[in-house]
Structure 1
Amino acid sequence: MTTTSAPDDRPSVAMSDEAYGTLRASTALWAGTSVLITNRRGQVLVQRVSYRPTRLLPGGAVDKSEPPAKGAGRELKEELGVTATITRGLAVDWVSPTGRKTPPALKFPGEILHVFDGGVWDDDQIAAIRPAPGEIDDIEFVEPADLPAVMAPDDARRALSALRARINGAGPVFLEDGLPIAPTVLDRVGVLRTARARHHLSFHATSVPANLPVRQSWVWAFAPDGRVLVLLGPDTGGAVLPGGKPEPEDGGDPVATAVRETREEAAADLAGARYLGYLSDPDVPCARVRYAAALTRLDAAHVDPATGRTYVRILATPEQALEFFDWGPSAAQEQLTAAHQARVLLGIPKAAHQPVTEITDQISW
Structure 2
Amino acid sequence: MTEPTPAESFATPRVAAGVLFFDAEGRILLVRPSYKPGWDLPGGYVEIGETPTQAAAREVQEELGIKPPIGALLVADWAPATGEGDKLLFVFDGGELAAEHLERIELDPAEIAGYAFHDPDLVDTLLIPRLARRIKAAIDARSQAATLYLEHGDPYRGALPN
TM-score normalized with structure 1 length = 0.41
1:63 partnered with 2:39: no
5+ residue gaps, structure 1, are 1-17, 99-106, 184-365
What do you get for the CA RMSD once the two structures are aligned?
Answer: 1.8
1:135 partnered with 2:111: yes
Paired with 1:76 and 1:120, the residues of 2 have a C-alpha distance of: 14
Paired with 1:68 and 1:176, the residues of 2 have a C-alpha distance of: 18
Shift, 1:128, TM fit: 1.2
Q: Which residue does 1:97 correspond to in 2?
A: 81
Paired with 2:81 and 2:100, the residues of 1 have a C-alpha distance of: 40
SS in 1 for 2:5: helix
Shift, 1:179, TM fit: 1.5
Q: Which residue does 1:44 correspond to in 2?
A: 28
Q: Which residue does 2:62 correspond to in 1?
A: 78
Shift, 1:180, TM fit: 1.2
Aligned residues: 155
Are 2:34 and 2:109, in contact at CA under 8 Å, matched by a contact in 1? no
* Percent identity over paired residues: 32
Shift, 1:122, TM fit: 3.3
SS in 2 for 1:19: coil
Q: 1:168 aligns with which of 133, 144, 160?
A: 144
5+ residue gaps, structure 2, are none
- 1:140-176 per-position Cα deviation (integer Å, ceiling 9, x unaligned): 000001112111111111111101110111x211011
- Any residues of structure 2 matched to 1:177-196 within 5 Å, and which? 177-182=152-157
Shift, 1:66, TM fit: 1.2
Structure index of larger Rg: 1
Runs of 4+ residues deviating >6 angstroms: none
SS in 1 for 2:6: helix
- Any residues of structure 2 matched to 1:337-352 within 5 Å, and which? none
Paired with 2:20 and 2:66, the residues of 1 have a C-alpha distance of: 14
Are 2:68 and 2:97, in contact at CA under 8 Å, matched by a contact in 1? no
Paired with 1:88 and 1:161, the residues of 2 have a C-alpha distance of: 14
Q: Which residue does 1:23 correspond to in 2?
A: 9
Paired with 2:115 and 2:53, the residues of 1 have a C-alpha distance of: 22
Shift, 1:23, TM fit: 2.3
Q: Evaluate the alpha carbon distance shift between residue 23 and residue 110 of structure 1 in structure 2; reply closer, same or farther with a 3 A threshold.
A: closer
1:113 partnered with 2:99: no
- Any residues of structure 2 matched to 1:229-268 within 5 Å, and which? none
- 1:190-244 per-position Cα deviation (integer Å, ceiling 9, x unaligned): xxxxxxxxxxxxxxxxxxxxxxxxxxxxxxxxxxxxxxxxxxxxxxxxxxxxxxx
Paired with 1:65 and 1:92, the residues of 2 have a C-alpha distance of: 19
TM-score normalized with structure 2 length = 0.88
Question: In structure 2, what residue type is equivalent to 1:54?
Answer: G
- Any residues of structure 2 matched to 1:179-218 within 5 Å, and which? 179-182=154-157
